[in-house]
Amino acid sequence: MVFEYILFDLDGTLTDPKIGITSSVQYALRAFGIDEPNLDKLEPFIGPPLADSFMEFYGFTPEQAKAAIGKYRERFDHQGIYENEMYEGIDGMLSRLKESGKMLAIASSKPTPLVIRVLEYFGIREYFDYIVGSEPGGGRSKKEEVVEEALRLMVPKTLAAKERKARVAMVGDRRFDIEGAKAHGLTSVGVSFGYAPEGELVAAGADCIVDTVSQLEDILMGKD
């Protein structure tokens, strides 16, 4: 397939945000009297909406989760956001995709202003025609909602739903990305170098799974 429109997740797909995210979760948990010294145990927070993770993994109520996100932001917005690394080869891949005429978008559960800051920090904002994240107030946090908004902005209304599979791809490292793609009839491309637990991308029904940035580029360029 030759994709014309490509949506990318951010965390765990284009960049490795582990230290920044897990350290900020650790900081938030400490405010609730929970000490978690092992950052590896907090990796499941990378990808899903934060509120869902605090409730699922630590049994927080919605009100507690909201307060925990506030504590998380205290650290992340000023320090954790920069404790991040771009995966090797991402810059070159994005450049070549744009040169080939493809339209690119970010579809992330991270708040849009923070997404923009990350892209600018790594000098890759210029490659993206659209940047869609969650709303700062907590709206549009589900990946299906983020993908829907990106498609509204990016894909012509004249593109029939049945054509989306062949012309639009969603790239991500977690099941939420795969589910977001499937909800809107897109081709889902999973990257195994992110933070999905073993078997998660397969179980979610990813159309294809790549192990390297080079393999990802080949798929998106229609070489495979």
pLDDT < 70 stretches in the chain: 224
Residue 208 tokens read as 């294809």
Pairing mode, strands 187-191 and 208-210: parallel
The rounded radius of gyration (Å) of the Cα atoms in the chain is: 17
**Whole-number pLDDT of residue 13:** 98
| DSSP strand pairing (15-16 vs 85-86) | antiparallel
Homologous superfamily (CATH) for 18-82 = Putative phosphatase; domain 2 (1.10.150.240)
Helix axes 62-76, 50-58, angle to 10 degrees: 120
Of 40, 37, 17, the closest CA to residue 86 belongs to 17
Element (H, E) at 20: helix 18-30
pLDDT at 224: 67
- pLDDT tens per residue across span 65-121: 999 999 999 999 999 999 999 999 999 999 999 999 999 999 999 999 999 999 999
Catalytic residue set: 9
pLDDT of residue 195: 95
pLDDT of residue 157: 84
Instruction: Categorise residue 171: left if φ over 0, alpha if ψ from -120 to 50, beta otherwise.
Output: beta
- Boundaries of every domain in the chain: 5-16+84-220, 18-82
Domain 5-16+84-220: CATH architecture, name and number where available: 3-Layer(aba) Sandwich (3.40)
Integer CA distances (angstroms), 107 to 14, 172, 217, 218, in order:
12, 9, 18, 21
Note the pLDDT of residue 175: 96
| CA distances from residue 158 to 48, 154, 161, 180, 181 in whole angstroms, order as listed | 32, 12, 9, 21, 19
Tokens at 154, concatenated:
């990016």
